[in-house]
Chains A and B, each alone.
Chain A
């Protein structure tokens, strides 16, 4: 009886960890761009959806070209390369184009107006994606199917893809931590968050650093989408929901804190995973109650120290 209860929880925990991974990739990107570049991009989450759409196309193309000729393991490697290299590359290019044309003119605006202008950008991106990929949900289950599944305690099976995604996100998290703490570029970025004019005076090309950080931010969101899509389906309408979840991560975790983003993603991931199993009516609602509660009790977020 007790054992049964515990084994029942294992898939929920795995789901929660996977959801937390996607949210972490989404929220960290937003947090980096807002915290370090002081650019509040409401449209950030649209890059996750865009990443998922591009991933679905990339996967379909790869499967179409190679089919079964490579054997499953070869095909799987190509798919992963596609998701981890081709998708981020495409998103980075799209993102840079958008940065030059759309985002650059609004950097100087106040936060309020940045929010509104990027709300306009969301509407444009949403319809742009609907134009390219249509209104129907898309999916790309090939990588998940090729990876197969494992049997859990208690005889149920669970797909390996979410576990793979979680591990991969952990690696990305460690790399990010190393990047900000140890590398020169990371340190310059942290300094720019404090005062970019002074950094510019020392002869560092702040514009270049700005672009690099921006690309890292949106690429993380796109990776989140690429990891998400093999195990779920995506419609352009989901962008708005992810917008709020991304900000929930930011607010709950605290601005510009990697630790905070991890804690917040886990909190939201577990809340949603267990919530959707035990009280499906209210799972999303709980996330927002959580967000409001954290803002009231600790306005800086769980790990942040920047006052709202």
Chain B
């Protein structure tokens, strides 16, 4: 890299960082990294935020398909749960318990599933894509439930706390020390890296091609874009990062069952998070995942019929505010700037 491009790059970075979104991102990263040591943070809050990060990875990955490619997948639980189960199997059947080995294994599993399931599903669009994803992911769910001698059936698999970099922190610091000091940071950093990578993907020619396909598949085909192939790639990218979320979920919750990670209502929840946050926005689904987990944890404390609350929330968001939280934020931002200008 020449001196010239280096300064240019620095300029670009400086320019980007000093804009409002740049500053917000920087503030968000600082807050995320210092969160466990803020004075009012307890173990429960750390767990909750780590949970949000794990789901946010999956929700943003889900939105790569829904928001950028225009495909509604009802089968993302297969990638999420597939990666989680890969971790579970390795822990159960081998002596490996190192997070930095488990994570790649989970990712590769999710990628393999996405390659196969995606290859079949992308021949269709719209509802048929959704249904084919649904059927194929349900197949994996059924296999995990029925082949219980291998998979633990509906009881699922325990996920013992892994070693990180060869050190067994649970033995050293106890579980709460491990959660606050290590696991939270592993999840937060995975979250930041995943989001960063997806941001780069979506703003590269690859992401722009996906948008072209979403907006007008016929025209995209006419200018020589292999539409089906690109939809397949998008499914794989989305599946891989959903798998990262799945591994994080498994390690954080220390137990997985087919119903918690593989059931198709999990796929519906990713869709929920994306829509709640706003499918038209890259960062929207992060807010969506946060709001989803918060609403759910409140609803669960209030009533045993929290599914009803979630269903009503999803329904109302789609009917009343299809652009989600991002849409509300954008509108109030515009109103605020307008009123400031009006005062001048």
Contact = CB atoms under 8 A, between A and B. Distances in A.
Interface string A235-249: 000001000100110
A116 interface: yes
Contacts of A159: none
Nearest to B317: A120
Interface stretch (A15-23, A102-110, A171-179, A213-221): A102-110
A284 B143 CA distance: 9
Contacts of B136: 288, 292
Interface stretch (B25-33, B192-200, B305-313, B334-342): B305-313
A164 interface: no
A3 B128 CA distance: 44
A130 B305 contact: yes
A299 to B, nearest CB: 7
A304 to B, nearest CB: 11
A295 interface: yes
Interface stretch (A6-14, A52-60, A121-129): A121-129
A251 B131 contact: yes
A308 interface: yes
Contacts of B142: 282, 284-285, 288
B17 interface: no
A130 B313 CA distance: 19
A218 B74 CA distance: 24
Contacts of B66: 112
Contacts of B294: none
Interface in A124-181: 124-128, 130-131
B143 A285 contact: yes
B138 interface: yes
B322 interface: yes
A115 B138 contact: no
B311 A292 contact: no
A247 B131 contact: yes
A123 B134 contact: no
Contacts of A288: 135-136, 138-139, 142
Contact of A123 (B130, B271, B310): B310
Interface stretch (B37-45, B119-127, B166-174, B229-237): B119-127
User: Main secondary structure on chain A at its contact with chain B?
Assistant: helix
Nearest to A102: B315
A244 B271 contact: no
A221 to B, nearest CB: 18
B264 interface: yes
Nearest to B137: A288
A292 B314 CA distance: 29
Interface in A232-291: 240, 244, 247-248, 251, 280-282, 284-285, 288-289, 291
A13 to B, nearest CB: 24
A17 to B, nearest CB: 24
A194 interface: no
A32 interface: no
A120 B74 CA distance: 14
A123 B314 contact: yes
Contacts of B315: 102, 117, 120-121, 124
B143 A119 contact: no
B31 to A, nearest CB: 31
Given A124-B311, A295-B124, A119 B135 contact: no
A242 B4 CA distance: 63
A123 B296 CA distance: 13
Given A285-B146, A295-B124, A299-B124, A119 B132 contact: no
Contacts of A122: 311
A229 to B, nearest CB: 23
A291 B131 CA distance: 10
A77 to B, nearest CB: 38
B305 A244 contact: no
Nearest to B128: A308
Interface of B: 66, 72, 74, 120, 123-128, 130-132, 134-136, 138-139, 142-143, 146-147, 263-265, 268, 271-272, 275, 305-308, 310-315, 318-319, 322
Ranked nearest first, the 5 interchain pairs of A and B with the lowest CB-CB distance are A123-B311, A120-B314, A127-B308, A120-B315, A124-B311
23 contacts: A106-B318, A112-B126, A112-B130, A116-B72, A117-B318, A117-B319, A120-B272, A120-B312, A121-B311, A123-B308, A124-B311, A124-B312, A127-B307, A127-B311, A240-B265, A244-B135, A247-B135, A248-B135, A282-B143, A284-B146, A295-B124, A295-B132, A308-B126
Given A240-B263, A295-B124, 10 more contacts: A116-B314, A117-B315, A120-B315, A120-B318, A121-B315, A123-B310, A126-B311, A247-B135, A295-B135, A299-B123
